[in-house]
Each structure stands twice: as structure tokens, then as C-alpha cells.
Amino acid sequence: MKYTNLPHTDIEVSKICLGTMTWGRQNTEEEGHEQMDYALEQGINFFDTAELYPIPATKERYADTERIIGNWFKKKKNRDKVILASKIAGKAEMTKFIRTTGINRDTIKQAVEGSLSRLQTDYLDLYQLHWPDRTTNYFGKRGYKHSINDHWEDNIHQILEALRDLVREGKIRHVGISNETPWGAMRYLEESKVHASLPRMITIQNPYSLLNRLFEVGLAEISHRENLGLLAYSPLGFGTLSGKYLGGRKPENARVTLFPNYNRYSSGAAVRATQKYYELAQANGLSLAQMALAFVNSRPFLTSNIIGATTMDQLKENIGSIEVQLSEEVLHSIEAIYNEIPNPAP
């Protein structure tokens, strides 16, 4: 395994992070425990979860993923071996069963304490805002369009104050953002610069893959100049970059087969790009999944690459990508495909 540091800290994390959002829906608790056992054996010490998981989110399964992880900690008694990240859900139609108000002092405190209880731990190493309350472009929206119905009032100072208090209480160690825009990232960073007592956002968990490199447009420079580390999610684009859906295939129990509305990476342009990347991987003796993950692993702004798997074979292949070094020829060919079909999946 290879390791990096969480920016602005001495906390060493594996460059592959274990994603957990299928546990409790596509995976049983036993399977989740098996994945954590194997990941830890392979040197992965960084796990990412959220109160929203498993996905798709439902009232009946709310926060079951955190409970599965908490039961594993209780059984294994190894909380000290894991750098643990979780998230508070933002305001949205799909989260009305969690809370009807947005992210504020009260909801942050409630969410953190709920996560700590379910995870059976006294602290979280990284606590993230899952997505912004304000109306902006995330979750597959390509560009920003102002809405006259956006009545959001800037509460970033108050959010950072609430997070600061939880840091002081020892319940969280560091904070991060997710599904955030360049404006939002800089707004948080500047607020903590102006007010030294407020915690600094150290990571940003956004989508990044061969099919979605929009992070490079504005956020990569921020990552470099502000040392804001990317935690890349969906590096395989809901599994499409394994190639398993090519040719119109619908593998049994696969995410897009089970949940066809998860079509963010399934547009015509995305399928054409995936086919080209598949052929490139094949021509170089690589699996498409490992080439796609190795590409993400190679990015200079990456702190950790969040993988997810529903089978042990997938997990082993994904973790194995850390040993794959892409040649300059392959990287050049990837850029050629990207220039032909740039960012087909927002």
C-alpha cells in the first residue's frame, strides 16, 4: 500500500480509501465485515462512510452502514487502526426523513452524536459536509444556474463555529467538504483564514474519474495552492469503468442494473468514451478497472481514492490498482481520448 497525509496534519492515510455505501443494501453486514478485514490486511487504514448510507437512501435503512462499521469495531476492538471519516447529509428532497432543516449548529451536533453512537466510537478523524445546502451544481449538474427560489443565507461562519466546538470537545479531529464548487471551497477556506479560531477544511470529496475530470477546471488549482486534498469518489463511475455494462449488458445485482436512475455515467458519450478506454486497457494488458483507478491514483492533487465493491473479487482488483504504474504511452493515449470526448459525465 502507498500512503499520503491528510493535508495540514501528520495523519497518514492509505492512498486507497475503503468506501462503504453499499453495506446494508447491496451488501450484508457479514460481507461488509469481510471487506473491512481484507482491506485492513492489505494496508488500507482509511474508511469513508456517511449517515446517509446505504445508497439509495431510505428511512428504513437510514444509517445502517454506520451501524455495520460500529459492530465491526466492537467485535474487532481495532478502532485505533482506522482513520475514520463520515458526513452530515445536506438538505434535499431525498433526506426529508433525516431532517427538514439544513446544515446548522443544531443539526451538526445531532448528526455527529448520532454517528458516534452508531459507529461505537468517541471520535471521528474527519467530518465532512456531504453537499451544500445552497442551490448549486453537484450530483451530475454540469453548470451553475442561479435560481430565484434559492433563499440561502450565508451561514458558513456559523457552520465552522459549530464544527470548531465539536473539535474542542474531542468528538471530531478535522473537517472537510464534499460535492463542493470552487466558490464554496474558497469561501470556507477564506473564512478560516480571517478567523483563526475556526477549523480549516482540509479535504474535498468530489467525483473524479476518466469520465469526469471537472475537478481539474477550477478545483485542482485550489487543491495545489491551498493544500486541499481530493478524496476522489466514483473513480469507476458507478462501476461503468469496469466495462461490465458495455454492449448493453445488465449484470445481475450490479448497481446500475438494480437502480437504473443512477445513469450519471451512462450517457451515449460516456459509453463511447468507456469503449475507447476499454480498448486502450486491453491493448496494454490491463483491466479497464485497474487502468481507471491507476489513473486517479496518479493525480498530484489526490489524497486518497475511494473505492467501493460489492464482491470480494472486485475489492481485490480495486485494491491491486495501487501497484499499477501507467506508462507515458498509456497516459498520452488517455489524454487523446479525453480530448476527443471530454467529461461526458458531469
Residues belonging to the active site = 53
- In which residue are the cell numbers 451501524 written? 67
DSSP structure string for 233-285? E-TTTTTGGGTTTGGG---TT-HHHH-TT--TT-SHHHHHHHHHHHHHHHHTT
Inter-residue contact 289 to 318 (CB < 8 Å): yes
* 221/100 Cα distance (integer angstroms): 35
DSSP 8-state secondary structure symbol assigned to residue 212: B
Residues in CB range of 125: below 8 A, 6 or more apart: 6, 11, 83, 84, 85, 172, 173, 174
Nearest Cα neighbor of 98 from 62, 49, 127 is 62
The set of cell numbers assigned to 330 is 498509456
Q: Left, alpha or beta for 138 (phi > 0: left; psi -120 to 50: alpha)?
A: beta
- In which residue are the cell numbers 469513508 written? 48
* 253/92 Cα distance (integer angstroms): 27
* Mode of pairing for the β-strands spanning 3-5 and 12-14: antiparallel
* 256/263 Cα distance (integer angstroms): 7
Nearest Cα neighbor of 6 from 86, 125, 121 is 125
The dihedral sign for the CA sequence 234, 238, 243, 246: negative
* 82/126 Cα distance (integer angstroms): 11
Beta strands in the chain (DSSP E): 3-5, 12-14, 16-19, 46-48, 83-88, 124-129, 172-178, 201-207, 229-233, 302-307
